[in-house]
Structure 1
């Protein structure tokens, strides 16, 4: 098997497991596993694509090694193969994180739109409810004013009837007195 620079890999005997030099949280291998040579694909890193994650200078990848002219022999150094595996996992984790972030932003925007819609709907319902209550209060006010007006008209009509009855009674009394006085004067003149 040859590498991209034309050198041959020697795999006559399996590599002996060595304790990892990297801290356990960064190492993807346990000390009981045998180290297998990684498979290397000669493709561009997703970070180098224009529509992928923007380059902020904080990532390292296999393509970064190639860009600087460093083309290591993969099978010769198990630490280097482990580092390359870690870089690959970091790239995959970064891609997963960016996809998760985009989805979370989309969901947040959707929830915000739903909340805005709910707020507008509740505001409209509340305004309609208040307008209905105001309308009912105005109707009640009109009805109350109509009742007051009717009561005063009835009282005024009653007072007028009483005044007319008193006036009629006084007119009858006056007519009776006048009639008696006229009769008395006729008798006196005879």
Structure 2
């Protein structure tokens, strides 16, 4: 016997239920006896509505089984067979769609991880480039400071040389004046 848990058909060892009549009893009797003109209310016409709809959380096969139809019992009616085939196709389409969705999610996650990796790599490259520029600027700064220091020492050395030259000149002038004064004093003292 087939039962439905809302999504899958389950099979048990119990004997299958009697196959439902495809035609209502009053129409089925017409095929064996000649038609007569008599109207009667058939109990079949007062049965609850057996319209089939696609359930939200289950399969169409389960819905058919709930309404007393066993689409797997054989080809009693071509419409039922076609309906069962459509339900099967629908179920397969749904499974295919779910598989496609899972694969798309997996691919999206993979692309996200790849983009994160690329972002981290680009960030690292950028940081290394900036650090290289900073090192180059520091080296340039040291070279500039060394040039300034060398120019300062050169200017200082030039100023010392000029000062020594002036001092030597003044010393020479003083020595010459002292020599003349000494000579003059000697000449006066004689």
TM-score (norm 2): 0.67
Contact 1:74/1:80 (CA < 8 Å) preserved in 2? no
Report the counterpart of residue 90 of structure 1 in structure 2: 90
In 2, the alpha carbon distance for the partners of 1:113 and 1:178 equals: 95
Q: Structure 1 regions of 5+ residues with no counterpart?
A: 8-55
Q: Deviations over 1:5-57 (max 9, x none)?
A: 455xxxxxxxxxxxxxxxxxxxxxxxxxxxxxxxxxxxxxxxxxxxxxxxx72
TM-score (norm 1): 0.67
Report the counterpart of residue 173 of structure 1 in structure 2: 173
TM-superposed CA distance for 1:74, in Å, is: 4.7
In 2, the alpha carbon distance for the partners of 1:135 and 1:78 equals: 84
Q: Structure 2 regions of 5+ residues with no counterpart?
A: 1-15, 20-54
In 1, the alpha carbon distance for the partners of 2:107 and 2:151 equals: 65
Moved over 6 A (4+): none
TM-superposed CA distance for 1:77, in Å, is: 2.5
Report the counterpart of residue 157 of structure 1 in structure 2: 157
Report the counterpart of residue 147 of structure 2 in structure 1: 147
When you count helix as a share of all residues, which structure comes out higher? 2
TM-superposed CA distance for 1:69, in Å, is: 2.9
Alignment of 1:1-190 (within 5 A): 4-5=16-17, 57=56, 60-71=59-70, 74-190=74-190
TM-superposed CA distance for 1:65, in Å, is: 1.2
TM-superposed CA distance for 1:93, in Å, is: 0.5
Q: Deviations over 1:141-172 (max 9, x none)?
A: 11101110110111011011111111101101
In 2, the alpha carbon distance for the partners of 1:86 and 1:70 equals: 15
| Greater C-alpha radius of gyration | 2
SS at match of 1:75: coil
RMSD: 2.3
TM-superposed CA distance for 1:132, in Å, is: 1.1
